[in-house]
Amino acid sequence: MNNKIVISLYDYTGEALRPWAEAGYLCYAYDIQHPKEGRVDRGICYQYADLHDHNTLNEIQDSFADKNVVFAMAFPVCTDLAVSGAAHFKKKAEANPSFQHEAVSYAVWCARLFNSMGVPYFVENPVSVLASQWRRPDHYFHPYEYGGYIKEADAKHPTWPEYIAERDAYPKKTCLWIGGGFNMPTVLPVPVEKGYATQHLKLGGKSMKTKNIRSATPRGFATAIYEANK
C-alpha cells in the first residue's frame, strides 16, 4: 500500500474507487448513507458525511490538508437536476423556489473543494441543468464506450448481474465537469443494442436501492479513469 489518496463524494457503492483500491491507493468514499462509525471494505474507507452541509466539505478539506491526495471525484445527487425529471420541476419549485439553485450549488461546491486541493478531478451527472446553471460539461460518455476495459471473464456485474448489462453494454449519456489536469480516458467500446437502455426497467419505484443501482459508476469507466489518471 502507498500513501497516495483518492477521495470520492456522494459515493455509496464505492465502484468508482475499486480500481484505485485494488492498486493500493488509500480510498475514501463519502456519503450520507454510510454508518456514522464508518466502515472499511476491501481497501475502501466508507465515511458518513452530510455533503449538503458546507461545513462538511470544509472538514474534509482540513482533514486532507497535509495528506497526499492525488485524485478526486464527485457524483452529486441528480434528482433535482437531471432533465429526465423536468416534468416534476414546477411542483418542486412551488414547494421550494430555490430547490434547483441549492442542487446546483452542491455540485459547484465539490469542484471548488477539488480546485482548492489542487488535484485532478471530475464531477459527474447525467444530462442536467448544470449545463445551463453552472457551465457546459467538458466531456460526455456512455457506459458501453468503456465496456472493453472489463475482461470477458468478468462480464457479469459482481453485485447486480440481474440489473446491469454485461460489460456495461448499455447507453446512458453522462456528463463530466473536470479540472486539475484530469485526463479523459480512451474509449474501448463494446457492442450495444440500438435505442434506450431497458435494463433498469426491472427496478421500478423510487427506493434507495433503485437510486443506488442506477447511479452506480460503470465498472469499465471506473477502470478507464484509473488507467488514464493513475
The string of pLDDT tens digits covering residues 146-166 is: 999 999 999 999 988 888 899
Cα–Cα distance for residue pair 92/226, rounded to 1 Å: 37
Domains identified in the chain and CATH numbers:
5-229 (3.40.50.150)
The string of pLDDT tens digits covering residues 90-130 is: 778 788 877 888 889 999 999 999 999 999 999 999 888 89
Mean pLDDT of the chain: 90
pLDDT at 1 over 60: no
The string of pLDDT tens digits covering residues 29-43 is: 999 999 999 999 999
Distance from first CA to last CA of the chain, Å, rounded?
14
What the block records as the C-alpha cell of 57 is: 466539505
Helix and strand totals (H; E) in the chain? 7, 8
Decide: pTM greater than 0.95. Answer: no
Sort 60 into a burial class: Cβ within 10 Å, 0-12 / 13-18 / 19+.
buried
The string of pLDDT tens digits covering residues 61-89 is: 999 999 999 999 999 988 767 766 777 77
Spatial contact of 224 and 186, defined as CB atoms under 8 Å apart: yes
- For the chain, helix, strand, coil in percent to 5 are 40, 20, 45
pLDDT at 21 over 80: yes
Cα–Cα distance for residue pair 162/210, rounded to 1 Å: 13
Pick 199 or 70 by higher pLDDT. Answer: 70
